[in-house]
A = this chain, B = another copy of it.
Amino acid sequence: MSDEKYFQNITARERAIFEGAITMGALFHQFVGTPVSFESANSLENAIMNSLELQPCINGVNVKIDRRILKESENEYQYLSLTGDMLDVQVVSEYGGVTVKVRMRYIEELHYPLMYVEEVD
């Protein structure tokens, strides 16, 4: 069984962009809010990568959680809730020979964690 018939109206390049974007939106909204500390960040990064790489057309996911923000946390509980500002993510999607890199990172001048297409090959 294949899903190809549902994607007749877009190109391979568009499909790769589509799937990379879904995965980036999914990543943000699944994991924002998770308790995270300097010590637990590595394990959370691994789970994010391993779970999102399962999605259709996804070849790779790189996630970096900003350790400086975690270190500077000033509450007495020694952890924070994960926010978009802490995340730098690259999702690599591929379809029909086209590879797309979708990026999310906090852009200072926009005051916003922007998702955009970094590269198309």
Q: List residues of A whose CB falls within 8 A of some B CB.
A: 1-3, 6-7, 9-10, 13-14, 17-30, 32-37, 39-40, 43-44, 46-48, 50-56, 74-79, 81, 83-84, 107, 109-112, 114-117, 119-120
B21 pairs with A19, CB closer than 8 A: yes
- The verdict on A21 contacting B32 (CB below 8 Å), with A79-B54, A116-B6, A120-B9 known, is no
Q: For A53, give the chain B residue with the smallest CB separation.
A: B40
Interchain residue pairs with CB less than 8 A apart (30): A1-B76, A6-B116, A7-B117, A9-B119, A9-B120, A10-B117, A10-B120, A14-B14, A14-B117, A17-B17, A17-B21, A20-B21, A22-B22, A22-B25, A23-B25, A28-B29, A32-B32, A33-B33, A35-B55, A39-B50, A40-B47, A40-B50, A40-B53, A43-B47, A44-B47, A55-B79, A56-B77, A74-B111, A75-B112, A76-B111
Provide the bound-state CA to CA distance between A24 and B59, in Å. 20
CB-defined contacts of A54 to chain B, threshold 8 Å: 35-37, 40, 77-79
